[in-house]
Amino acid sequence: MAQFKVAVLPGDGIGPDITAEAVKVLGAVAARFGHGFVYTEALIGGAAIDAAGSPLPDETLSVCEASDAVLLGAIGGPKWDTTDPNGIRPEQGLLGIRKALGLYANLRPVRIFDALIDSSTVKPEVIRGVDIMIVRELTGGIYFGERGRVGDMAYDTETYHAFEVERIVRKACELARARGTSNVCSVDKANVLESSRLWREVAHKAVADYPDIELWDLLVDNCAMQLVKNPRQFDVVVMSNMFGDILSDEASMLSGSLGMLASASLGDGPGLYEPSHGSAPKYTGMDVANPTATVLSAALMLRYSFGLEEEAASIETAIERVLADGFRTKDIFEEGRELVGTSRMGDLVAERV
């Protein structure tokens, strides 16, 4: 029996509710396939600020570094919002853990479940069959560049080194190979930004080592339009930190809800897995949040950190079956379906695993 150590960081808002359901489903995987998962909970975000005065306590980082993977819920909320440039914010915990664990590649799969095709605001004939892997560079760019205020002026600096671009493009090419495709789109703003001109130059040098991969360039504003106009043209899409943050949220709405979008952050240390949505504090403890994105993130953990493809697929198939059987949480509910809460949705997926 394989044993895996998982750090669980519930975080804020609905984070504890949705991580509990992912752990529940992992328990079903353990029972079916004979694995063991050992969980250690730790604080991050606003909860950590309240308890320890830091959004990423040293103890939390130690727990993560000693684990095989990290499962995170969500962070943030109005309680901790501040415009003070020297203030402590929950988001600093997320940026900090990505940097500390060397998690430079964020994977956000955007897949349209057949049962939810009518939940999207985009026409069914446009999104049917969409299966996109967005690869976002995670530890460089404007979020980590020099910033500050001088009088009534503020600035944030976009900075990229060639090695940061090269490794994320190589990761995108490797993922394309694993998905059985040669289609990799690189998104930039090379007509305006010098950092994007470096990005495009390095991307084309890196892909030279992958003769089976066809790399094509797309300006970020055009990509935003094409994701809605013709999303099936995309397979693997690689982009900078800020562009990836924005466009992956746009792409998530093809599926009808952020509650369906999982993510994996990979790099030099243990992988970190989290839903792409926020903490939705107004729904805390109300048993209405959709745990599907977090459960799908647990499936990504099985696939990318533990190499358990069959087990990951069992979760994804179980979710397909639950949706096909007509069960819906509040965010994806439609007439004629059965409305269920957070815990019941977790039960349904676990039962089908």
Among residues 78, 61, 88, 101, the alpha carbon closest in space to that of 12 is found at 78
Residue 327 three-state SS: strand
Backbone φ and ψ for 144, nearest 5 degrees, come out as -120, 5
* Euclidean distance between CA atoms 351 and 345, whole angstroms: 10
* Euclidean distance between CA atoms 310 and 154, whole angstroms: 50
Say how many C-beta atoms besides its own lie within 10 A of residue 5's C-beta.
15
| Residue that is written with structure tokens 């499962």 in the block | 71
Distance of CA 347 to the CA centre of its chain: 23
The count of C-alpha atoms lying within 13 angstroms of the C-alpha of 154, restricted to the half-sphere facing its C-beta, is: 4
Which of the residues are catalytic? 143, 189, 221, 245, 249
Backbone φ and ψ for 262, nearest 5 degrees, come out as -90, 170
Say how many C-beta atoms besides its own lie within 10 A of residue 211's C-beta.
8
